[in-house]
Structure 1
Amino acid sequence: MSEKHESHVKQYTSYALGAFGHDAFYATLSTYLMLFITSQLFDTANKGFNSHMILMITNMMMIIRIIEIVFDPMIGGLIDNTDTKWGKFKPWLMTGATISAIMLVVIFTNLGGLTTSNPTMYLVAFGIAYVILDVFYSFKDISFWSMLPALSVDEKVRARFGTVGRLGSTIGAQAVPIVIFPLIVFFSHVFSGTSGSTKTRAGWLGFAVVIGLVSFLGALATTLGTKEKKSLIRQNTEKVGVIDIFKALGKNDQLMWLALSYFLFALGYVVTNSLLAYYFTYVLGQSGKFTFAGWIMAILGVISVSLFPTIVAKVHRKAIYTGGILMMVIGYILFLFAGHNLLAVMVAVAVFFFPYPMIFLAALMTITDSVEYGQWKNGTRNESVTLSVRPLIDKLAGAVANGVVGLAAVHSGMIGNASPSSISAHQLMNFKTYMFYGPVVLIIVAALVYYFKVKLTEDKHKEIVDELETKLKAEQAEKNDD
Structure 2
Amino acid sequence: MKRYLSYALGAFGHDAFYQTLSMYFMIFVTSELFVSSDKAWNTKMIGIVTTLMVVIRVGEIMFDPVIGGVVDNTQTRFGKFKPWILSGSIIASLGLVTIFSDFGGLTYSNPLLYLILFGITFLILDIFYSFSDISFWSMLPALSLDPKERTTYATAGRFGSTLGAQGVIIIITPAILLCSRLFGGKPGQETQPGWMGYAVVVGLLCTGGAILTCLNTNESHNIIRKNTVHTRLIDVFKVIASNDQLLWIALSYILFAFSYVVTNSLMMYYFRYRVGNVGAFTWVGVITCIIGVISVAVFPALEMKFHRKAIYVGGIVVMLGGYSLFLAAGTNLVWALAGIGLLFAPYPLIFLATLMAITDCVEYGQLKSGVRNESVTLSVRPLLDKLAGAASNAVVGVVAVAAGMTGSATPSDITRAGVTQFNTFMFYIPMALLVVAALLFLWKVKISESAHKQIVQQLNARLSQQESPSTSAGSLTETDLNSAKL
Unaligned runs of 5+ in 1: 1-8
**Corresponding position: 1:225 with 2:210:** no
Distance 2:214 2:354 in 1: 25
Shift of 1:444: 1.1
Deviations 1:227-248 (A, max 9, x none): 1100100000010111211111
Cross-structure match for 1:147 = 139
Distance 1:324 1:183 in 2: 32
Q: Percent identity?
A: 55
Deviations 1:194-233 (A, max 9, x none): 11x2100010010000000000000000000101100100
Distance 2:282 2:147 in 1: 37
Which of 434, 448, 454 is matched with 1:457 structurally?
448
Cross-structure match for 1:294 = 285
Aligned partner of 1:228: which letter? Answer: E
Cross-structure match for 2:484 = none
Output aligned runs, 1:113-124, within 5 Å. 113-124=105-116
Deviations 1:345-366 (A, max 9, x none): 1100100000000000000000
Cross-structure match for 1:323 = 314
Normalising by structure 2, what TM-score?
Answer: 0.96
Aligned partner of 2:448: which letter? Answer: T
**Corresponding position: 1:256 with 2:256:** no
Distance 1:370 1:23 in 2: 23
Deviations 1:380-431 (A, max 9, x none): 1000000000011011111011100101100110011111111111111111
Which of 258, 262, 269 is matched with 2:260 structurally?
269
Shift of 1:117: 1.2
Aligned partner of 2:64: which letter? Answer: D
Asked whether the equivalents of residues 185 and 191 of structure 2 are also in contact (C-alpha less than 8 Å), the reply is no
Distance 1:280 1:387 in 2: 36
**Corresponding position: 1:75 with 2:67:** yes
Cross-structure match for 1:376 = 367
Aligned partner of 1:296: which letter? Answer: I
Asked whether the equivalents of residues 30 and 46 of structure 2 are also in contact (C-alpha less than 8 Å), the reply is yes
Q: Secondary structure at the match of 1:74?
A: helix
Aligned partner of 1:19: which letter? Answer: A
Aligned partner of 1:113: which letter? Answer: G
Q: Secondary structure at the match of 2:220?
A: coil
Shift of 1:43: 0.6
Q: Secondary structure at the match of 2:266?
A: helix
Aligned partner of 1:415: which letter? Answer: T
Distance 1:291 1:443 in 2: 26
Output aligned runs, 1:376-395, within 5 Å. 376-395=367-386
Shift of 1:106: 0.3
Cross-structure match for 1:235 = 226
Which of 58, 82, 92 is matched with 2:50 structurally?
58
Cross-structure match for 1:25 = 17
Output aligned runs, 1:153-164, within 5 Å. 153-164=145-156
Question: Which stretches of structure 1, 4 residues or longer, exceed 6 Å deviation after superposition?
Answer: none
Distance 1:360 1:176 in 2: 19
Deviations 1:85-106 (A, max 9, x none): 1000000111101100000000
Deviations 1:153-185 (A, max 9, x none): 111100100011000000000000100000000
Cross-structure match for 2:7 = 15
Shift of 1:193: 3.6
Distance 2:257 2:437 in 1: 9
Distance 2:49 2:29 in 1: 8
Asked whether the equivalents of residues 66 and 376 of structure 2 are also in contact (C-alpha less than 8 Å), the reply is yes
Aligned partner of 2:106: which letter? Answer: L
Distance 1:243 1:193 in 2: 53
Unaligned runs of 5+ in 2: 471-486
Task: Report the RMSD for the aligned CA atoms in angstroms.
Answer: 1.3
Aligned partner of 2:337: which letter? Answer: M
Deviations 1:76-122 (A, max 9, x none): 10110011110000001111011000000000001111111111111
Q: Secondary structure at the match of 1:175?
A: helix
Distance 2:434 2:115 in 1: 34
Shift of 1:125: 0.8
Q: Secondary structure at the match of 2:183?
A: helix
Asked whether the equivalents of residues 326 and 337 of structure 2 are also in contact (C-alpha less than 8 Å), the reply is no
**Corresponding position: 1:91 with 2:83:** yes
Q: Secondary structure at the match of 1:475?
A: coil
Aligned partner of 2:175: which letter? Answer: L
Cross-structure match for 1:401 = 392
Normalising by structure 1, what TM-score?
Answer: 0.97
Cross-structure match for 2:334 = 343
Deviations 1:264-302 (A, max 9, x none): 110010000000011011100010011011000000000
Distance 1:456 1:278 in 2: 39
Distance 1:205 1:419 in 2: 24
Deviations 1:275-334 (A, max 9, x none): 001101110001001101100000000000001000110000000001101111111110
Q: Secondary structure at the match of 1:408?
A: helix
**Corresponding position: 1:212 with 2:176:** no
The number of aligned residues is: 472
Cross-structure match for 2:349 = 358
Distance 1:418 1:317 in 2: 44
Q: Secondary structure at the match of 2:101?
A: coil
